[in-house]
Amino acid sequence: MSRDSVFESTLEFFLAPLREFLEDDTVTEIMVNGYREVYVERRGKLYETDARFESEDALISAITNIAQYVGREIDRDRPILDARLPSGSRVHAVIPPSSRTGTYLTIRKFKRDIFSLEDFVRLGSISVEAKEFLEFCVRLKKNIVVAGGTGTGKTTMLNAVSTAVPENERIVVIEDSSELKLAQKHSLYLEAQQADSYGRGGVTIRDLFRASLRMRPDRIIVGEVRGGEALDMVQSMISGHTGSLTTVHATSPRDALVRLETLSLMSDVDIPVYVARAQVASAVNVIVQLSRFADDGSRKVTRVAEAFGLGANNEYQFHDIFKSQMRGRSESGELISELEFTGQQPTFASEPYEHGLEGDINHTLPLWENSDT
């Protein structure tokens, strides 16, 4: 019996109170707030369940079992754990004294199927026109940032956008905790590693990013930038590694650019603020903004914006190519919105023609038409 098989059998015992939710495809997240309180997320909404662990010790034993499998430790001196189950689901745990009212366990379930942009169209999260525009942006090797708050589906959208990458390209994927699953065969996956209790064996996103540049990538995809690695990514974008994709926590396109600027300044390279801003402005081409609506739990693309440098006041310049318009509610109470073309063409409107891609334009002709065509 393999190590994974042994672990899965052991885990099935320790996580027995959560088994039905782990096997339920409609559940996207499981939240344990102490051993007597379990919530799940379905279709973006939270529901309290009757599930519970026998005791606080039983819950801590389950978390300790997960930590041992991934070669990490969790105790009073190291009360936080980030790990991944064999299924790919992401686990986050916090134990006392850092958690004040008991042990907290959150499991974000891994989607086994690869979502495409077509799936987002079918779900009403994006329009056909915006889908085609993003596909052209990927093929034209624009640097794309997917922005949104926690739980808006940034990773799922990033994975969907990546399906437009040509099959013959070599892609390097870098993540803190592996979640992405690309459709392309020639994809390499790098994952950061926490140091052990003696400070040995740690591998950061920055370490992996620098390593990826020596792996002859056609594209680099960073699951999420959240630290000084933003500077490495931005500098690679402006030095020839175009077509990069990443996500960032931000609630608007402008905030996404400011966030990347701030993270760049967190690196160990001392650069002036105006240099960091200029580099971000030169690097990022397109921002896909996601939002989650509390009323019905839906997740939608609310804006697709183009960033195009700095203005006279050293402020980021961008304009919306698509913007969501609310149309009311359905009979079942779900919000109805449409992601509409704003009438603003991208600054690269002529590029599909320059690259011989005009034959693939089906739904977005007004975006690309110009006086030269």
> What is the tens place of the pLDDT at every residue in 158-172?
999 999 999 999 999
Mean pLDDT of 73-78: 88
Instruction: Please tell me the predicted confidence (pLDDT) of residue 373.
Output: 46
The answer to whether the CB of 93 falls within 8 A of the CB of 26 is no
Mean pLDDT of 281-305: 90
Instruction: Please tell me the predicted confidence (pLDDT) of residue 318.
Output: 94
Instruction: Please tell me the predicted confidence (pLDDT) of residue 90.
Output: 87
pLDDT exceeds 80 at position 111 = no
The answer to whether the CB of 373 falls within 8 A of the CB of 361 is no
pLDDT band at 325 (very low <50, low <70, confident <90, very high): confident
pLDDT band at 352 (very low <50, low <70, confident <90, very high): very high
pLDDT band at 293 (very low <50, low <70, confident <90, very high): confident
CB environment 174-203: b (16+ within 10 A), e (fewer)? bbbbbbbbbeeeebeebbbebeeeeeeeee
Instruction: Please name the residue that has the structure tokens 């739990």.
Output: 297
- Which residue type occupies 307? A
Instruction: Please tell me the predicted confidence (pLDDT) of residue 284.
Output: 97
| Domains contained in the chain, CATH given | 3-108 (3.30.450.90), 117-368 (3.40.50.300)
Mean pLDDT of 291-298: 77
pLDDT exceeds 80 at position 64 = yes
pLDDT cut 70: percent of the chain above it: 94
Instruction: Please tell me the predicted confidence (pLDDT) of residue 69.
Output: 82
pLDDT exceeds 90 at position 326 = no
Instruction: Please tell me the predicted confidence (pLDDT) of residue 84.
Output: 81
Instruction: Please tell me the predicted confidence (pLDDT) of residue 372.
Output: 53
Mean pLDDT of 329-356: 87
pLDDT exceeds 60 at position 1 = no
Instruction: Please tell me the predicted confidence (pLDDT) of residue 234.
Output: 94
pLDDT exceeds 90 at position 199 = no
Q: Please, what is the average pLDDT of the chain?
A: 90
pLDDT exceeds 80 at position 6 = no
Give the span between the Cα atoms of 22 and 224, in whole angstroms: 25
Closest C-alpha among 235, 335, 238, 331 to residue 291: 335
pLDDT exceeds 70 at position 267 = yes
Instruction: Please tell me the predicted confidence (pLDDT) of residue 371.
Output: 43
pLDDT exceeds 70 at position 112 = no
Give the span between the Cα atoms of 205 and 227, in whole angstroms: 9
